[in-house]
Chains A and B, each alone.
Chain A
Amino acid sequence: QVTLKESGPGMLQPSKTLSLTCSFSGFSLSTSGMVVSWIRQPSGKSLEWLAAIDWDGDKYYNPSLKSRLTVSKDTSNTQVFLKITSVDTADTATYYCARSLPHNNWFDYWGQGVMVTVSS
């Protein structure tokens, strides 16, 4: 079955770089057209799509955050990473990774999310 799980530092200080990992099973990111995205949600608020990487290594970023985001994947195609530079308190949120099947630009499976707090 398809599962995704996010991991991250829990808490970090303003101006630091946030590094997140999405580990998944039940599908391969080497499958043509497969995509994994990152989405975040501040507590009590709505969802914001951040970035995506596809099977071929092509990367897509939300223009509002593009300068601070880097998405990548491992060579075994079982993990996807997201880095956010120069974090501040506005980056405090639960971060999710989610899968999109080939030719389907919606998210069918999501991870449980990882909460990240930015605080001094």
Chain B
Amino acid sequence: DVLMTQTPVSLPVSLGGQVSISCRSSQSLVHSDGNTYLHWYLQKPGQSPQLLIYRVSNRFSGVPDRFSGSGSGTDFTLKISRVEPEDLGVYYCLQSTHFPLTFGSGTKLEIK
């Protein structure tokens, strides 16, 4: 299985600040069709995960442009600018290039 390693585990942030979360895969996530299937989710406390970014850099419907994704191959980053209270929770990356689909271990965004 593809191992997805997220860093840091915990990320203290001041409201209004900017943060980056890293997700690294044990294999390249470039699919044979040329696409890279790396996605980002936010799980707010007591809720189910919600899709933020799909295929590295595409924001899902309704996701503010404060969220941006980048990366290629095995190295990916989620950036959050102007952090708001509603952004707090655990962020997960998901790869769906290789079977079985695997998630990262999560990064908890919390108030400093």
Contact = CB atoms under 8 A, between A and B. Distances in A.
Interface residues of B, number: 22
A110 interface: yes
A11 interface: no
Interface of A: 46-49, 60, 62-64, 96, 104-113
Contacts of B51: 106-109
Nearest to A94: B48
A104 B54 contact: yes
B49 A110 contact: yes
Contact of B94 (A62, A64, A106): A106
A46 B105 contact: yes
B105 A113 contact: no
B39 interface: yes
A75 B102 CA distance: 30
Q: Which of A110, A112, A113 has the most CB of B within 10 A?
A: A110
Contacts of A112: 47-48
